[in-house]
């Protein structure tokens, strides 16, 4: 998954996923400009397997994390990244099972689909509980992510997960014990996202408080 090679950086034109915009506006009569992107809304689910008392996360190579970490250089007029200096593993993340809202369906249904595709659990709708929705990327996209919690069991596991091969997705399902999850919140050696840390805090403040 982290064998990354031949990395070049090109202008992003006509993307299906992000639409860069320059917004001109006046605030209290003062002219201003802000550069931003229109992106899809997202869904993310904290999964807890109650059969074996483990969290279920996903690990992926994220190109955006990779280029945020690596330095680019120009070779033969092309912006590129030397993968010997910057190996692919620096772009691996640990994330909640998540996806973009690119279908006209309720967000909980989209979350259910992602849980099956990415983690292999066929979870009944009533097990998918909304935690909250929050905005990210206030300076760039301001997009909303809808956060859910689902308690799953081994009996719900109907497939391996791993993402849609048809879309070239390579996703590793990662299980962590409750103690490992607690440590993960402050483990800066791992590329993890704000929402995962928030979801774990929520879990320890509500679900685990009641059960432990
Ligand atoms: N910017 C992009 N460029 C090229 N291809 C893209 C793309 N975004 C999505 N795709 C394609 O769309 C496919 C489906 O994406 P998903 O719906 O599984 O979302 P993903 O897990 O990437 O997280 C997504 O949704 C979560 C939850 O909002 C966000 O945190 C995360 O940033 C976001 O990528 C990807 O495999 C990829 O092929």
Identify the residues whose C-beta falls under 6 Å from ligand 1.
Answer: 17-18, 42, 44, 98-100, 145, 167, 169
21: left (phi over 0), alpha (psi -120 to 50) or beta: beta
More confident residue, 91 or 169: 91
Say what the pTM is: 0.94
Q: Which domains does the chain have, with CATH numbers?
A: 7-12+37-211 (3.90.79.10)
> What are the tens digits of pLDDT across the range 53-84?
999 999 999 999 999 999 999 999 999 999 99
pLDDT at residue number 209: 80
pLDDT on residue 48: 98
Q: Distance from the CA of 99 to the center of ligand 1, in angstroms?
A: 6
pLDDT of residue 210: 65
Q: Give the per-residue pLDDT at 2.
A: 83
Distances (CA, A) of 88 to 1, 79, 118, 176, 203: 8, 17, 21, 23, 31
Q: Token pair for residue 69?
A: 């970490």
Q: Which of 18-27, 104-113, 157-166 has the lowest mean pLDDT?
A: 157-166
User: DSSP string covering 48-117, please?
Assistant: EETTTTEEEEEEEE-HHHHHHHSPPEEETTEEEE-TTTS-GGGGEEEE-EEEE--SSS-HHHHHHHHIII
Q: Which atom of ligand 1 is nearest to the CA of 195?
A: 30
From first CA to last CA, the distance across the chain in angstroms is 36
In this prediction, residue 183 has a pLDDT band, given cuts at 50, 70 and 90, of very high
Which atom of ligand 1 sits closest to the CA of residue 64? 1
Tens-place pLDDT, residues 90-138: 999 999 999 999 999 999 999 999 999 999 999 999 999 999 999 999 9
212 pLDDT exceeds 70? Answer: no
Q: Which atom number of ligand 1 is nearest to the Cα of residue 143?
A: 28
Q: Measured at the alpha carbon of residue 68, what is the angle toward residues 65 and 71, in degrees to the nearest 5?
A: 130
């Amino acid at each position: 998954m982290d064998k990354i090679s031949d990395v070049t950086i090109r202008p992003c034109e006509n993307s299906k996923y992000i639409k860069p915009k320059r917004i001109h506006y006046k605030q209290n009569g003062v002219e201003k400009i802000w550069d931003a992107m229109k992106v899809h809304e997202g869904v993310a689910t904290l999964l807890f397997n109650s059969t074996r008392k483990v969290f279920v996360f996903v690990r992926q190579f994220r190109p955006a994390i990779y280029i945020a970490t690596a330095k680019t250089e120009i070779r033969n007029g092309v912006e590129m990244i030397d993968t010997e200096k910057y190996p692919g593993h620096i772009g691996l993340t640990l994330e909640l099972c998540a996806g973009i809202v690119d279908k006209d369906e309720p967000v909980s249904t989209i979350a259910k689909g992602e849980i099956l595709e990415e983690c292999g659990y066929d979870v009944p709708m009533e097990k998918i509980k909304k935690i909250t929705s929050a905005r990210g990327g206030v300076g760039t996209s301001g997009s909303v992510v809808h956060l859910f919690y689902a308690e799953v069991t081994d009996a719900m596991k109907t497939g391996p997960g791993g993402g849609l091969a048809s879309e070239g997705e390579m996703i590793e399902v990662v299980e962590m014990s409750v103690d490992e999850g607690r440590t993960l919140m402050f483990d800066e050696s791992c590329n993890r996202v704000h929402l995962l840390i928030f979801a774990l805090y929520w879990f320890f403040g509500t679900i685990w408080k009641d059960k432990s």
